[in-house]
Amino acid sequence: MIWNRFLSAIVLLLLSAPVAAEQYTVGFLAFRGEAQAREQWSATLNGLNSATPGHQFAGRYLTQQQLDEALSAGQLDFVVTHPAHFMLSQSQKLNWLASYIDPYYGQARASVAGTLWVRASSPIVEPGQLRGQRVGAVHEQAFGGYLLVAEQLRRQGILPTDLDLRFSGYPVDALAYLLRDGALSAAMLPTCLLEDMQQEGLIELSNFRALMMQEDAHCVRSTPLYPGWSFAAVGVTDEQLLRATSRALLSLEYQQRPLWGAPIRLDEVEQLLKDWQLGPAAPVLPLQLLHQLVLRYWPFLVTLVIIALALLLHHYRVTLLLLRRTQERDKLHTLIQDKEQELAQARLRILMGEMATGLAHELNQPLSAIQAYAQAGELVSHTAQQQEAFGHIVAETERGAAIIRRFRQWATQPLPSAEPMDLAKVCRELVTRMQPRADALSVILSGRFSEGSLLSVRPAIEQILNNLLGNALNAHGRRVATSGRQGGYIKIQAHPEPGGWQLTIEDDAGGVDPGIIAALQHNLPAAHYHGMGIGLLVSHRLALRLNGRLTLENTDKGTRASLFIPEES
């Protein structure tokens, strides 16, 4: 018994608890800013919340751009905006529920207009004097703040391109201040705006003067009256909610006057937008109208047909010529391919000859050394001396194998991809690696490098510089072996030049054979590289593959090698 009473009490409590009201967001076009819009539409929001207790309406006060973004993002359930914006937003599935009854005019059909203002002291008295003048408006799609006034100017032959138009954006009050302060020659403003601002103590209306004034106006206006604000649902499909909202709007009153009326037709607004190419696309012309156009403009159409036939004949002739040229091009292309294959085979034979000559030249030294060490090993009887000779043989054998590997890599493997690198850092690392060899020969190895980046193949750059520095150190070594004189210098420099980087390696080791310089300058085969090793040939070939150039010249004391690498190689 007690348990049944407890359950009954819980059920009564749940049934008597208030149901949470559903939340809906109404977006208001705040053309004068959020504070003014809150005050203007507070009666509408309060009336809706009072008349529909099961629903809760909250307002968002936005500029026209913000309102478009909120509509596209699906953040609004209802929207209150001017009729032009309503027509332009039909793609958002708007459902028009009511039209705003303006308090000044007491109706919805004729309640919005625009006024063209100048300063009272301005010499401008006719609209034609505005050509070339700075004229302000709030937004290119604003209804009373631009389109209505611009339409009246257009009917008088004054196009927007004739004016120095400046769109200031919302709030629209800023335009009045810009005009008052002389930043504008004229301003397109919604009708009654300056009257409202004077009542609020913001401006003095006597400082302004209107152009194209209309008669019998409650407020000073320059255009005819158009329909006013629209209250629309955004994608709402709940018929019960739509009916409840419409009933609540039509029953709202403020200071004993209705706030909203039944939706009205917007034919004149639609026609205005079409004239400004802002509205929906015009329907396809009927067949009768098309027939009338043909009868009226048949001479022009006949001329057009003749021109079209002439163009077709010309197109046919050009097509025949193009076909003939294509066939000739294909024959020439086949001939060029054959010649390229022959050239590639010739290059391959030259490359094989260079490799054979280079291998013979390079392998000659280790093979001769192996023979010498082997003969020496036969003559000596001491075990230590024989082991030393055999060690030299092994070292020379490895040297020969390394030469073969270098040739294989040079001839077969493609270059890696280009990558950005710090050229100064690469040069410093190379100097650090070469420093022990230079110290052993008492050679001063110095460098001077400019900071900067180069897009190239780093392994190729390192190989070239390593070969050039190695040749310079080898030259110093030969000088020590022949004359016994140690010391000297090797200088490496790197700095940017127009189109790339210039690297220079200079020594005082006595110079090189002029035949080697001639071989580099004329790109001669490897047989002409005597005494310098295959490293110089590889360096020269790598420089060419990087679209660069490597030159060698003798100085008063030694040799200067110059390497130019383009910015992107």
User: 495: domain CATH number?
Assistant: 3.30.565.10
> Does 135 reside within a domain?
yes
Q: Say whether both 506 and 553 belong to one domain.
A: yes
Q: Answer whether residue 295 shows pLDDT above 80.
A: no
**Would you say residue 2 lies in a domain?**
no
Where is average pLDDT lowest: 122-136, 371-385, 538-552?
371-385
Q: Which of 25-29, 116-120, 359-363 has the least mean pLDDT?
A: 359-363
Q: Which residues, other chains included, contact 125 with Cβ-Cβ below 8 Å and sequence gap of 6+?
A: 211
pLDDT of residue 7: 44
CA atoms within 13 A on the CB side of 443: 29
* Residue-wise burial string across 49-67, b where 16 or more C-beta atoms lie within 10 A, e elsewhere: beebeebebebbbbbbeeb
> Which token pair is 213?
């004034």
Asked whether residue 135 falls in the same domain as residue 79, the answer is no
Give the residues across from 565 on adjacent strands.
501
**pLDDT tens profile 297-343:** 888 888 999 999 999 999 999 999 999 888 888 888 888 777 767 76
Residues 386-420 pLDDT 10s: 777 777 777 778 767 766 766 666 556 666 678 89
- Looking at per-residue pLDDT, the higher value among 315 and 347 belongs to 315
Is it the case that residue 186 has pLDDT exceeding 90? yes
**Nearest one of 467, 433, 452, 491 to 543, comparing CA atoms:** 467
Is the same domain home to 485 and 348? no
Q: Give the residue among 359, 351, 346, 403 at the shortest CA–CA distance from 541.
A: 351
> Domain with 175 in it: what CATH number?
3.40.190.10
Instruction: Give 298 or 376, the one with higher predicted confidence.
Output: 298
102-111, 136-145, 252-261: least confidently modelled range: 102-111
| First-residue to last-residue Cα distance in the chain | 96
Same domain, 120 and 103: no
Q: Residue 451 corresponds to which tokens in the numbers above? A: 């900071």
Does 313 fall in a domain? yes
Domain boundary among 381, 408, 435: 408
Residues 439 and 534 in one domain: yes
Which of 73-77, 341-345, 436-440, 545-549 is the least confident region? 341-345
Average pLDDT over all residues of the chain: 79
Answer whether residue 495 shows pLDDT above 90: yes
Q: Which residue has the higher pLDDT, 202 or 527?
A: 202
pLDDT of residue 17 exceeding 60, the answer is no
- Binned at pLDDT 50, 70 and 90, residue 14 comes out as very low
Question: What is the DSSP track for 400-411?
Answer: HHHHHHHHHHHH
Whether residues 402 and 477 share a domain: the answer is: no
Cα distance between residue 11 and residue 180, in whole Å = 68
Could you give the CA distance from residue 226 to residue 142 in angstroms, rounded to a whole number?
13
Q: Which of 211-215, 460-464, 525-529 has the lowest mean pLDDT?
A: 525-529
In a domain, 292, yes or no: no
pLDDT at 479 over 60: yes
Model confidence pLDDT, tens digit, residues 79-102: 888 777 777 776 667 777 888 887
Amino acid 220: pLDDT? 87
Distance CA 6, CA 527 (A): 112
Residues 200-211: what's their mean pLDDT?
A: 91
- Distance in angstroms (rounded) separating the CA atoms of residues 185 and 199: 24
| Final residue of a structural domain among 364, 391, 408 | 408
Could you give the 3-state DSSP secondary structure of residue 381? coil
CATH number, position 398: 1.10.287
475 with 356, same domain: the answer is no
- pLDDT, position 12: 45
Distances (CA, A) of 483 to 440, 442, 443, 473, 560: 16, 14, 15, 15, 22
Token pair listed for 87: 């027509």
Q: What is the pLDDT of residues 126-151, one digit of tens each?
A: 998 989 999 999 888 888 788 888 88
The answer to whether 127 and 153 have CB atoms below 8 angstroms apart is yes
Q: Which of 30-34, 162-166, 495-499, 538-542 has the lowest mean pLDDT?
A: 538-542
Domain assignment present for 544: yes
pLDDT range class, residue 521, cuts 50, 70, 90: low
194, 216, 214: which is closest to 204 by C-alpha? 194
Based on the fold, state whether residues 458 and 328 are members of the same structural domain.
Answer: no
Contact 139, 145 (CB under 8 A): yes
What DSSP assignment string belongs to 82-107?
-HHHHHHTGGG-EEEEEEE--TTTS-
**Cα torsion through 133, 137, 139, 141, rounded to 10:** -90
pLDDT at residue 315, rounded to an integer: 92
34 and 66 part of one domain:
yes
Burial per residue of 184-201, b for 16 or more beta-carbon CB atoms within 10 angstroms, e otherwise: bbbbbbbbbbbbbbeeee
Please state the separation of Cα 281 from the chain's center in Å.
Answer: 32
Edge to edge, what strands does the sheet with 134-137 contain? 164-167, 134-137, 186-190, 114-119, 208-211
Q: Are 86 and 181 within one domain?
A: no
Tens of pLDDT, residue by residue over 57-75, are 888 998 888 888 888 888 8
Q: What pLDDT, on a 0 to 100 scale, did the predictor assign at position 506?
A: 94
Report the pLDDT value the prediction gives residue 530, as an integer from 0 to 100: 41
Q: Are residues 455 and 529 in the same domain?
A: yes
On whether the CB atoms of residues 359 and 403 are closer than 8 A, the answer is yes
d(CA 166, CA 179): 12
Which of 408, 433, 463 terminates a domain? The answer is 408
Transcribe 324-376 into DSSP letters. HHHHHHHHHHHHHHHHHHHHHHHHHHHHHHHHHHHHHHHHHHHHHHHHHHHHH
For residue 437, the enclosing domain spans 415-566
Clarify whether residues 384 and 486 are in a common domain: no
Q: How many independent structural domains does the chain possess?
A: 4
pLDDT at residue 3 tops 90: no
Least confident of 220-234, 352-366, 433-447: 352-366
pLDDT for the residue 314: 92
* Cβ 504 vs Cβ 562: under 8 Å: yes
